[in-house]
Amino acid sequence: MNSFENLSPDDRKRMSYLKTRDDCTQFARNVGDRHPHLVLAARQRSVEVQVNAMNLDSALRRDIWSVVYAQEEAIFVKHGRRLRAGNTRKVITNRGELGAVEYVVKQPGSESFELLHSLGLGDYTFEAVVLRNQEHFSSDVVDAARRKLDARRGSDTAGVA
C-alpha cells in the first residue's frame, strides 16, 4: 500500500524525517506548489505514522485503521480542519472492525470513497482492504468490493478516447 518505492532516494529520506501528523501537514504545505507528488507521499506518511502509533497486532487491522486515518486526512483536505471520521468510527464501534468493512463495502459508493480516490488515496478504501485480504471476507463481500472498484476505474477512463 505504501507508494514510497516510487519516490527517489532523496524524497524517501525526506519522508523518513516526518514523525507526526503535523509534520506531514506542514511538509505538504511547504512543498505543494513545487512538488505535488510529495503532497501525496506526505498524506500517506501521515496515515502510516498514526497507524504505527496504535501498535496493532495484525496487518489486516493496520489496513483497516489506515482507511480510517486516510478518511480523516481527506476530511482535513476538504474542510481545512481536523475532524474525526465519526461515521466510520461509529460503524466500527457498533459492528466491529470486520463487520464495519463488510457493511461499508456493501453500501453504494460514498462521498468518502470518491474523495479518497480523487486525492490519490484509493488504496485506502475498505474495498481495497477487502481485495488485499480476501481470505477474511465472504465471496459476496469480495465481489461487491471488486464491482465498486471496477466501476470506479471505468468512470476514470470513460472520458479517455
**What digits encode the pLDDT tens for the residues 67-106?**
999 999 999 999 999 999 999 999 999 999 999 999 999 9
Check pLDDT > 50 for residue 161.
no
> Cell 481485495 appears where?
131
Q: Which pLDDT score, from 0 to 100, does residue 3 have?
A: 62
**What's the grid cell of residue 111?**
462521498
> Angle, nearest 10°, between helix axes 59-79 and 36-53?
130
Q: What is the pLDDT of residue 1?
A: 59
Query: How would you class 161 by CB atoms within 10 Å of its CB: exposed for 0-12, middle for 13-18, buried for 19 or more?
Result: exposed
Report pLDDT for 156. 56
Q: Do the beta carbons of residue 33 and residue 56 sit within 8 Å?
A: no
Tell me the mean pLDDT in the region 28-56: 93
* Whether pTM exceeds 0.85: yes
Grid cell 471496477 — which residue? 150
**Does 104 or 3 have the greater pLDDT score?**
104
Burial call 127-153: b when 16+ CB within 10 Å, e when fewer: bbbbeebeebbeeebbebbeebbeebe
Structure confidence at residue 160 (pLDDT): 40
Number of Cβ within 10 Å of residue 86's Cβ equals: 11
Q: What is the pLDDT of residue 2?
A: 55
Binning the chain into helix, strand and coil, the percentages to the nearest 5 are 75, 0, 25
Residue 47 has pLDDT above 80, yes or no: yes
Contact 127, 105 (CB under 8 A): yes
What Å distances lie between residue 7 and 40, 69, 103, 133, CA to CA?
A: 11, 22, 35, 26
Is residue 76 within 8 A of residue 83, CB to CB? The reply is: yes
Q: Please give the pLDDT value at position 109.
A: 76
CB 120 within 8 A of CB 40: yes
Domain spans in the chain, listed from the N-terminal domain onward: 81-161
Per-residue model confidence (pLDDT) at position 112: 87
Over residues 111-159, the pLDDT tens digits come to 889 999 999 899 999 999 999 999 999 999 999 999 999 998 876 544 4
